[in-house]
Structure 1
Amino acid sequence: MTTTPEFRRTGPQPPEPVLSVRQVLALERVLAGEPEVVAGRDRLDRPVRWVHVAEAADVGVMLSGGEMVLTTGVLLAGDEARQTEYIRSLHRAEAAAVVLGLGRAFPAPPEVMRRAAERCGLPMVVLHRPFPFAELTEEVQSRLVRQKFAAISMSETVRTALTGLITAGAPLRRLLDEVARHSGCPVVVTNLAHRVLGTAGERSAVDDVLRDWDRIARQAGGTAGDGWIRAELGGRGERWGRLLLCGYRGDQATGRLLAERAAEALVLHRMLGGTSAHSWEEQSAQSLLTDLVSGVVPARQLLPRARAAGLPVNRRTFVPLVVRDGEPGQLGPVLRLLGLPGIVAELADGVAAVLLSLARDQDAEALTAHFAARLRTRQPAVVAAAAPRTAWEEVPDGLREARHVADAVAGSSAALELPDVVRLRDVHLRGLVRLLRDDPQVQSFAERELDGLLSEPEPELLNVLRTYLATGRNKSRTALLHHVSRPALYRRLEAIQTRLGVDLDDFEQAASVHIALLAHDAQQG
Structure 2
Amino acid sequence: MLPTVRELLADQFSAADPLVLAGHSRLGRSVRWVHSSEIYEISPLLSGGELLLTTGLGLAGVDAGTRRHYLREIAGRGVAGVAFELGRTFDAMPPEMVAEASRNGLPLIALRAVVPFIDLCRAANTEIVSREVSALRLLNELARDVTKELAAGNGLAHLLARIGAATGCALIVTSGNGALIAAHGVDDDRSAWAAVEAAVASAPIRARENNWGTLTAGPGSVLDEATLAQVLEQSAPSLGLALTNSSAPTGRPQLAAMTLLADLLDGKPIRQADLKVRGTAAGVPALSGRILVPVAIDAPDARIAARLLDTAAKELGRPGLVGEVHATTYGLLTVERGGADAVGAAVRVLRKSFATNTVDGVTIVVGDPCEFTAVALTGSLQATRAALRLATLHRRDRLAGSPISTCRELATELVVESLPESERTRLIATTVAPLIAWDATHHSNLSRTLEVYLRHGASPTRSATALHIGRQSLYQRLDRIRELLGYDPSDPALAGTLLLALCAHRLAAVG
Please give the TM-score of this superposition, normalised by the length of structure 2.
0.51
Is 1:37 the counterpart of 2:14? The answer is no
* Aligned mates of 2:148, 2:386 — CA distance in 1: 37
Whether the 8 Å contact between 1:197 and 1:284 is mirrored in structure 2 is no
One-letter amino acid of the counterpart of residue 243, structure 2: R
Q: Give the equivalent residue in structure 1 for 2:192.
A: 216
Q: CA deviation at 1:67?
A: 1.8
Residues 32 and 215 of structure 1: is their aligned pair in 2 closer, same or farther, counting only changes over 3 Å?
A: same
Residues 390 and 413, structure 2, Cα contact 8 Å, conserved in 1: no
Aligned to 1:149: 133
Task: For 2:38, give the aligned amino acid.
Answer: E
Larger Rg: 1
Whether the 8 Å contact between 2:22 and 2:109 is mirrored in structure 1 is yes
Distance 1:135 1:392 in 2: 74
Matched with 2:34 is 51
| Correspondences of 1:370-385 after superposition (within 5 Å) | none
Report if aligned partners of 1:52, 1:70 keep a CA contact under 8 Å in 2.
Answer: yes
Q: Distance in 1 between matches of 2:8 and 2:140?
A: 28
- The Cα shift of 1:36 comes to 1.6
Preserved CA contact (<8 Å) 2:202 2:214: yes
Match of 1:180 among 164, 175, 181: 164
Distance 1:136 1:331 in 2: 75
Alignment counterpart, residue 234 of structure 1, candidates 175, 188, 206 = 206
Give, in angstroms, the shift of residue 335 of structure 1: 4.5
**In structure 2, distance between residues paired with 1:293 and 1:167:** 27
Two-structure CA RMSD over aligned residues (Å): 4.8
Q: Identical aligned pairs, as a percentage?
A: 25
Instruction: State the alpha-carbon separation in 1 of the partners of residues 303 and 382 from structure 2.
Output: 13
- Separation in structure 1 between the aligned mates of residue 344 and residue 126 of structure 2, nearest angstrom: 51
SS in 2 for 1:47: coil
Deviation of the 1:38 alpha carbon: 1.5
User: How much has 1:340 moved relative to structure 2?
Assistant: 3.2
Decide whether aligned partners of structure 1 residues 131 and 156 sit closer, same or farther in structure 2, where only a CA change above 3 A counts.
same
CA apart distance, 1:334: 1.0
Question: Which residue matches 2:8?
Answer: 24
Distance 1:102 1:94, change over 3 A: same
Which of 400, 415, 420 in structure 2 is aligned with 1:366? 415
Q: Residue 93 of structure 2: SS of its match in structure 1?
A: coil
1:70-219 equivalent positions in 2, closer than 5 A: 70-80=53-63, 83-192=67-176, 196-200=180-184, 206=185, 209-211=186-188, 213-214=189-190, 216-217=192-193
Looking at structure 1, the residues matched to 203 and 406 of structure 2 have their Cα atoms a distance apart, in angstroms, of 31
What residue in structure 2 maps to residue 60 of structure 1? 43
Name stretches of at least 5 consecutive residues in structure 1 with no aligned partner. 1-16, 201-205, 313-318, 345-351, 371-386, 399-525
CA offset digits 1:28-58 (Å, max 9, x no partner): 2323322222223333333322112111222
Is the 2:83–2:108 contact (alpha carbons within 8 Å) kept by the matching residues of 1?
A: yes
Counterparts of 1:320 and 1:394, CA distance in 2: 24
Contact 1:97 1:124 in 2 (8 A): yes
Letter in 2 for 1:160: R
Q: Is the 8 A contact 2:247 2:307 kept in 1?
A: no
| Matching of residue 280 in structure 1 with residue 323 in structure 2 | no
C-alpha deviation, 1:119, in angstroms: 3.9
Q: Deviations over 1:168-187 (max 9, x none)?
A: 43344433333233334454
- 1:76 Cα shift? 2.9
Q: Deviations over 1:145-192 (max 9, x none)?
A: 122222222222222332233234334443333323333445444445
User: Residue 340 in 1 paired to residue 315 in 2?
Assistant: no
Structure-2 separation of matches of 1:255 and 1:143: 18
> Is the Cα–Cα contact under 8 Å of residues 29 and 135 in structure 1 kept in the other structure?
no
Separation in 2 of the partners of 1:290 and 1:58? 75
Q: Distance in 1 between matches of 2:93 and 2:462?
A: 70
Contact 2:167 2:221 in 1 (8 A): yes
Gaps of 5+ in 2: 249-299, 313-342, 398-402, 420-453, 467-511
Instruction: Give me the whole-angstrom Cα distance separating, in 1, the residues matched to 2:181 and 2:462.
Output: 24
Q: Distance in 2 between matches of 1:354 and 1:369?
A: 19
Q: In structure 2, do the counterparts of structure 1 residues 260 and 153 end up closer, same or farther at CA, with 3 Å as the change threshold?
A: same
2:229 is aligned to: 256
CA contact (8 A) 1:343 1:356 kept: no
Q: Which amino acid aligns with 2:391?
A: L
Cα pair 1:58 1:85 within 8 Å, conserved: no
